[in-house]
Amino acid sequence: MPAYSHPASRLTADSLHAGYDAKRILQGVDIAVAEGQLTVLLGPNGSGKSTLLKTLARTLTPSGGHVYLDGKDIHRSNTREVAQRLGILPQGPIAPEGLSVKQLVGMGRFPHQGFWKKDPQQDANAIAEAMAYMHVTEFADRDVEALSGGQRQRCWIAMVLAQQTDLILLDEPTTFLDLKVQVELLALLSRLAHDHGRTLLLVLHDLNLAAAYADHLVMMRDGQIVISGTPSDVFTAANLKRVFDLDAHILRDPASGSPVCVPFTSATLQAAL
């Protein structure tokens, strides 16, 4: 899959503040997304994960602080320049009515097309490769709306892959996918990072899948990064309590050694129910 072999780039943010009108969400976030690795952003509902992803991808303008893409302030860069380097799949995307899968995946090529610059063969190859990679080739001519939730989600991810950026930000990409497909997707994304030098930042809700596949975990709460590091270092009962207010035992996967959490209902919670 040579088209996916890119040198990884660098995405960093410092003292990031962002929100919606008067609503402040991000409260001084510093992050450096590890190059050529898979980083997973975790946190309770409403903790600001999507807001951070959108601000890093230039979709949302920060009220304070900076995002740098290869050392250049991303909010001072132009849209096409950014879109050639960074692809983002937001949460719950909606396809325009009547769009076929092939057309949807083809939208990933827009940043590479222009009045003066057109390479239909390169576009066709990128679209075909991305569809094959996400196993959606058989749906190429079907309406996106006529697919199941999981099939549609794979098409959206194929669209981002067709963009052929070295940075890929995915907000809850496993939504609608059955467990086997979730595992396959994470294995594939991990390969994109490790074998093809891509830099991936994902928002996930499944703690155990995150611990199993991420190189780095970043845990957020109330618009701030509380802790980050390797799954072995940060996936502890104390941190899960601190970030999620979750009571859990931490075990080890006997095969890989990855930490696994087993949540339980504490006596305090029992009494409150």
Ligand X SMILES: Nc1ncnc2c1ncn2[C@@H]1O[C@H](COP(=O)(O)OP(=O)(O)OP(=O)(O)O)[C@@H](O)[C@H]1O
The reply on whether position 47 binds ligand X by CB under 6 A is yes
**Which of 46, 43, 69 is closest to 56 using CA atoms?**
69
DSSP-assigned beta bridge partners for residue 87:
168
CB–CB of 16/52 below 8 Å? yes
**20 belongs to the binding site for ligand X (CB under 6 A):** yes
Smallest distance, ligand X to C-beta of residue 160, A: 18
Which range of residues in 40-48, 65-73, 158-166, 189-197 is near ligand X by CB under 6 A?
40-48
CA nearest neighbour of 199 among 210, 184, 179, 214: 214
Residue 66: strand, helix, or coil:
strand
Q: Whole-number minimum distance, CB 57 to ligand X, in Å? A: 13
Give the DSSP letter of residue 18.
E
Task: Give the nearest distance from C-beta 41 to ligand X in angstroms.
Answer: 8
Shortest distance (Å) from residue 172 CB to ligand X: 7
For the chain, the 3-state helix, strand and coil shares in percent, each to the nearest 5, are 40, 25, 35
Listed ranges 9-17, 38-46, 100-108, 237-245: which one lies at the site for ligand X (CB under 6 A): 38-46
Are 33 and 39 contacting, i.e. CB atoms less than 8 angstroms apart? yes
CB burial readout 226-252, b (16+ within 10 A) else e: bbbeebeebbbeebbeebbebbbeeee
- What single-letter amino acid sits at 249? H
Residue 108 sits in the site that holds ligand X (CB under 6 A): no
**Does residue number 49 form part of the binding site for ligand X (CB under 6 A)?**
yes
Beta bridge partners of 263: 248
Question: What does the block give as tokens for 66?
Answer: 């900076």
Residue 49 or 216: the one with the smaller Cβ distance to ligand X is 49
The answer to whether residue 25 forms part of the interface with ligand X (CB under 6 A) is yes
Position among 50, 77, 174, 199 found at the interface with ligand X (CB under 6 A): 50
- Determine which residue in the list 36, 43, 173, 231 makes contact with ligand X, applying CB under 6 A: 43
**Separation between Cα atoms, residue 115 and residue 261, nearest integer Å:** 52
Choose between 45 and 270: whose C-beta lies nearer to ligand X: 45
Query: Contact between 115 and ligand X (CB under 6 A)?
Result: no
Radius of gyration of the chain (CA): 19
| 248, β-bridge pairs | 263
If the CB atoms of residues 46 and 64 are measured against ligand X, the closer one turns out to be 46
Q: Which of 48, 111, 231, 259 binds ligand X (CB under 6 A)?
A: 48
Q: How far is the CB of 84 from ligand X (least distance, A)?
A: 26
The torsion angles phi and psi of 223, rounded to 5 degrees, stand at 75, 15
Q: Does 51 bind ligand X (CB under 6 A)?
A: yes
23 binds ligand X (CB under 6 A): yes
Min dist. Cβ of residue 205 to ligand X (A): 7
Q: Where are the alpha helices (DSSP H) in 13-61?
A: 49-56
Residue ranges in 213-272 that form contacts with ligand X under rule CB under 6 A: none
Residue 55 is a binding residue for ligand X (CB under 6 A): no
What's the min distance (Å) between Cβ of 154 and ligand X?
20
Q: Which residues bind ligand X (CB under 6 A)?
A: 20, 23, 25, 43, 45-51
